[in-house]
Chain A
């Protein structure tokens, strides 16, 4: 059974989780970048990672929150739990409402549609492929963002408790590796957000639906 066909495009739990995410992500990104200022390097002391191109470069001031290391850390840990909780509630809702079927990317079902949609965006194809709530490319983007959020939370937990959560630290390749993954998750989420905002501006109806929930589909 697919997600109820009579359900609005954006049920209220999805909308609440989505909009709660906005201030939380801004707070976490800003305070995280301010924390990075204290040591803007990746890799352990004396052995910085050679592949990281921004060694020693502090993030720009406009992107920071918390003024100094202690302030930023207290912001980060005051709100990090709420971000994780919001994500958890969202996942639980996806799982129990059946919404995951029309939102998550399944390679076998969605790859073709994602490629065709990309071809349409690139003007290589005249007509967009058929789509339900989302096209394959959207499903890919939203599912990737969800996975990045999960990576951000787990790498963050590792940085917070590298000893007590020792098994998690090992899975992520150690403390310094988790720190690099934490920053990578932020960079990719920021990239996603830029693309997301541009595409929403090109398709304003999706913004309206994320605010009001949108109209219920006409019944049979």
Chain B
């Protein structure tokens, strides 16, 4: 008897174009949560991008110095603080410098002003998308690090303020960029309270929310920490 012919139906395919597409869409939707943008796939890609940005970082790449006529008109440079009113420095304010340093210090403004000073007029880039220009003067963070004997093995720098607990943390190369300073002056004047007096971080290489104002503490740390906006979902590296 002739073998019975089996009807050769194609084996059901496990992976069809349609299931692949639906699967990809479902995974994307599940792994990308706008309310928790530092988790899931979005968070994983943030870490990939942070590594790319760190690899691209060149400390000799400077932001161009701008001519005086580039200045943002008076009053148009936005003020920003998280407290309800302009935070004012407590009496007897000092900057505490600690962590992995040979000589932990509490520095008065006068002591900071005796360190080598620097100044520049560069463009400010806000996470919101606007830009503005002012000139800043102060002491390079790398010069402060040298003054206190910061351990070269400390790869992170944390900055804290008296603005209702506002804080952030940086990678060492960005913190030691020649255009990263602790600014005590703006547009040739002492830093006004609306812009972070008596001392704020200013830099060419990070977005505005990384530049902590109303500084109280600088810590050189072995581990990365977070920050006020970083805890709320904004990227940590935020380099320019």
Q: Which residues of A contact B (CB under 8 A)?
A: 23, 35-36, 38-39, 41, 44-47, 65-75, 77-79, 81, 161-164, 166, 170, 175-176, 179
Contact = CB atoms under 8 A, between A and B. Distances in A.
Contacts of B64: 166, 170
Contact of A45 (B61, B63, B78, B234): B78
Contacts of A75: 32, 34, 37, 42
Contacts of B235: 70, 73-74, 77
A44 B233 contact: no
Interface in B28-56: 28, 32, 34-35, 37-38, 41-43, 45-46, 49, 53, 56
A66 B56 CA distance: 27
A39 B130 contact: yes
29 contacts: A38-B127, A38-B129, A44-B123, A44-B133, A45-B76, A45-B78, A65-B34, A66-B34, A68-B34, A70-B234, A71-B34, A71-B37, A71-B233, A73-B234, A74-B235, A75-B34, A77-B45, A77-B49, A78-B32, A78-B42, A78-B49, A161-B239, A161-B240, A163-B240, A164-B57, A164-B58, A164-B61, A166-B62, A175-B125
A-B pairs with lowest CB-CB distance, top 4: A46-B76, A71-B34, A74-B37, A78-B45
Contacts of A66: 34, 37
Contacts of A73: 37, 127, 234-235
Contacts of A74: 34, 37-38, 42-43, 45-46, 233, 235
Given A162-B240, A163-B240, A69 B61 contact: no
B58 A72 contact: no
Interface in B96-154: 123, 125-133
B73 interface: yes
Given A46-B132, A175-B123, 6 more contacts: A41-B130, A44-B123, A74-B34, A74-B233, A78-B42, A164-B61
B152 to A, nearest CB: 23
